[in-house]
A and B are shown apart, each in its own frame.
Chain A
Amino acid sequence: MKNESEIIKDVLNGIDRFEELVDRYHVGLIIHCERILKDRDEAEDIAQEAFVKAYFQLKNYNSEKSRFSTWLYKIATNLAFDYLRKQKRKMDVEDIEALAEATMPTYLDDEMRRTIRDAVESLVPPEYRRVIEAYYWDGKSYQEIAKAEGIPINTTRTWIRRAKQQLREKVA
Chain B
Amino acid sequence: MKHDIDTRIIAAKPDEHGNKKFVAETMKAIKKAQTHETFEGVIRRTNVTKKEHLYMKIKHLPKVALVALVIMAILSTGAVAYAAYHWLEPKITILNETKENDDKKREYSVNIENCGIVVGGTPIGNGVQGFEVLKDSKLTQAQIEKVLKDTCVYQQILEFSQKHWQSDTQRNVKKGESVVTYGNYDQRKYDIGKVISIDDSSLSIETTVYSELPDVKLGDTITPENVTSTFYPNGKKVISRYKLATSPEFWYHDAQITKNNIHTGDIISVVIRNHNMATSDNYMTDLMLGDTEVAGIIKTDIDTAYTQSLPFVGDPLKAGQVFKLVGCQGSGQYICLSTNSPTLHTEAIYADSRSREDVAPWEKIENADKYIRKDIPENPTGYFHTVEGRIAKINGNKFSLYSRGKVQKITVELPYDVLAAYNRSHTTQAQEGSFIQINYLQKPGENQTKIKPQDINRMSLIQYQLPNGSYVKY
Contact = CB atoms under 8 A, between A and B. Distances in A.
Nearest to A166: B5
A93 B350 CA distance: 14
Contacts of A30: 19, 22
Contacts of B363: 152-153
B133 interface: no
Contact of B425 (A65, A132, A154, A167): A154
A140 to B, nearest CB: 7
A105 B8 CA distance: 7
B291 interface: no
Interface in A37-79: 39-42, 44-45, 47-49, 51-53, 55-57, 59-60, 62, 65-66, 70-71, 73-75, 77-79
Interface in A104-153: 104-108, 112-113, 116-117, 120, 132-133, 136-140, 143, 152-153
B255 interface: no
Nearest to B16: A137
Interface stretch (B212-220, B410-418, B432-440, B445-453): B212-220
A25 B469 CA distance: 32
A106 B14 contact: no
Nearest to B223: A100
A99 B227 contact: yes
B35 interface: no
Given A22-B23, A26-B18, A90-B469, A132 B228 contact: no
Contacts of B48: 41
B228 A48 contact: no
A51 B11 contact: no
Contacts, number: 207
B218 A112 contact: no
Given A45-B43, A90-B465, A120 B9 contact: yes
Contacts of B15: 23
Interface stretch (B109-117, B241-249, B279-287, B385-393): B279-287
B33 A56 contact: yes
B206 interface: no
Given A48-B26, A49-B43, A90-B469, A164 B5 contact: yes
B199 interface: no
B27 interface: yes
Contact of A108 (B11, B23, B26, B369): B11
A140 B10 contact: no
A48 B33 CA distance: 12
Contacts of B469: 90, 93
Interface string B267-293: 000000000000001111111000000
A65 B3 CA distance: 21
A77 B10 contact: no
A62 B13 CA distance: 26
A26 B23 contact: yes
Contact of B219 (A23, A74, A101, A137): A74
Contacts of A138: 17-19
A90 B46 CA distance: 20
B397 interface: no
Contact of B228 (A26, A31, A96): A96
Given A138-B18, A143-B370, A164-B6, A23 B47 contact: no
A85 interface: yes
A132 B8 CA distance: 12
Given A27-B18, A57-B287, A106 B11 contact: yes
B44 A44 contact: yes
A105 B30 contact: no
B395 interface: no
A81 interface: yes
Contacts of B223: 100
B420 interface: no
B12 interface: yes
A132 B12 CA distance: 12
A126 B339 CA distance: 47
A10 interface: no
Interface string B220-251: 11111001110000000000000000000000
B12 A113 contact: yes
A82 interface: yes
Contacts of A79: 283-284
Nearest to A65: B219
Contacts of A56: 33, 39
Contacts of A101: 3-4, 7
Interface of B: 3-15, 17-19, 22-23, 25-27, 29-30, 33, 39, 42-48, 178, 213, 216, 218-224, 227-229, 281-287, 339, 346, 350, 352-355, 361, 363, 369-370, 425, 465, 469
Given A137-B9, A167-B5, 20 more contacts: A18-B30, A23-B15, A26-B18, A26-B22, A31-B10, A41-B46, A48-B43, A53-B284, A66-B220, A66-B221, A73-B222, A78-B216, A86-B283, A90-B353, A101-B3, A101-B4, A103-B7, A116-B9, A143-B370, A152-B363
The 4 closest A-B pairs by CB, nearest first: A82-B283, A139-B19, A41-B46, A116-B12
